[in-house]
Amino acid sequence: MSPPTLPRPDYGIDAPGVVRTMLLVGAAGLAVWATAAAGLWPEAVAGPLASAGAVMGVWFGGLGLYMIYSSRVGKLRDRERLLDLVPWSGREAVLDVGCGRGLMLTAAARRVPDGRAVGVDIWQAVDQSGNRPEATAENARREGVADRVEVVTGDMRELPFADGSFDAVVSHWAVHNLYAAADRGRALGEMARVLKPGGRVVLADIQHHAEYAAGFTALGLVDVRRAGPAWKRVLLTALTFGGFRPDVVVGRKPG
Ligand SMILES: C[S@@+](CC[C@H](N)C(=O)[O-])C[C@H]1O[C@@H](n2cnc3c(N)ncnc32)[C@H](O)[C@@H]1O
């Protein structure tokens, strides 16, 4: 008899409140367009209303649907490409900063069969649906890596780990949640502090990449560069008027 198949991991939806608002505004726009097209508005305003409704519906609705696609499909594809940026031996200790429900954490754990993967977060539900340590631990179980995954509650501005604890630090779409540049700088300093000499950092985010690259360089990291696909950044920056500019910054601690 074959062993029972585990349910698929569930990494939640990012920024669920923003997604809900986008879809509601998009639906309202389409409703205005449809009622104007059906002749339910006075003739003088029907034309402009139909155009405005159609634009609102397609733009907001499209972005809301894209955010769902990104959380459910796009991020799962991207995580492997991001982890390919680290030359793994399989024995590393890796830290996922702002791990949420464990998207990067569990995939990193698969790369280190003889190592360990630690995820740290403060579990803000506004940033990811169903965000709690139990959900992360359950995803590790479903991915078959629970034996080498540890989930820790802690703030990225004050990581609860000793200096030089990790061979690699990864972080995906988490640091921008710190709204003050000084706080983001503290988080970068903590990532550099907990890295071992020779350790690698892979920081993927939706904003602030020039700041991150300059910050890591000032902290003494070397080989600091942007590693995200330029076409995606340019396209999404244009479609969101600069609100969403996904890219990646990588670097290495000398030693
Ligand atoms: C959009 S979610 C991304 C989660 C996960 N990295 C992913 O890509 O699926 C952002 C995460 O950052 C976490 N976060 C926000 N501020 C934080 C802080 N100061 N320290 C640690 N984690 C934080 C949130 O709780 C949330 O889990």
Q: Residue 92: CB within 6 Å of ligand 1?
A: no
Q: Calculate how far, in angstroms, residue 193's C-alpha sits from the geometric centre of ligand 1.
A: 19
Given the structure tokens 């540890």, which residue do they identify? 150
Q: Per-residue pLDDT tens for 214-233?
A: 999 999 999 999 998 888 88
pLDDT in tens, 10-30: 999 999 999 999 999 999 999
Is 1.10.150.670 the CATH classification of the domain at 84-252? no
Distance CA 44, CA 183 (A): 52
Q: Are 159 and 194 in contact (CB under 8 A)?
A: yes
Q: Supply the pLDDT for residue 229.
A: 86
Instruction: With CA atoms as reference, report the closest residue to 119 among 176, 160, 78, 85.
Output: 160
51-70 pLDDT tens trace: 999 999 999 999 999 999 99
Which residue type is seen at 65?
L
Return the domain boundaries, the chain: 16-75, 84-252
* Residue 71 pLDDT grade (very low, low, confident, very high; cuts 50, 70, 90): very high
pLDDT of residue 196: 98
- Mutation test residue for ligand 1: of 68, 122, 170, the one with most atoms within 8 Å of CB: 122
The pLDDT of residue 1 is: 61
Q: Across the strands, what pairs with 172?
A: 204
Instruction: Measure 30 CA to ligand 1 centroid, in angstroms.
Output: 33
Under 8 Å between Cβ of 26 and 56: yes
- Looking at the predicted structure, is the pLDDT value of residue 110 above 90? yes
User: Nearest C-alpha to atom 23 of ligand 1 is from which residue?
Assistant: 98
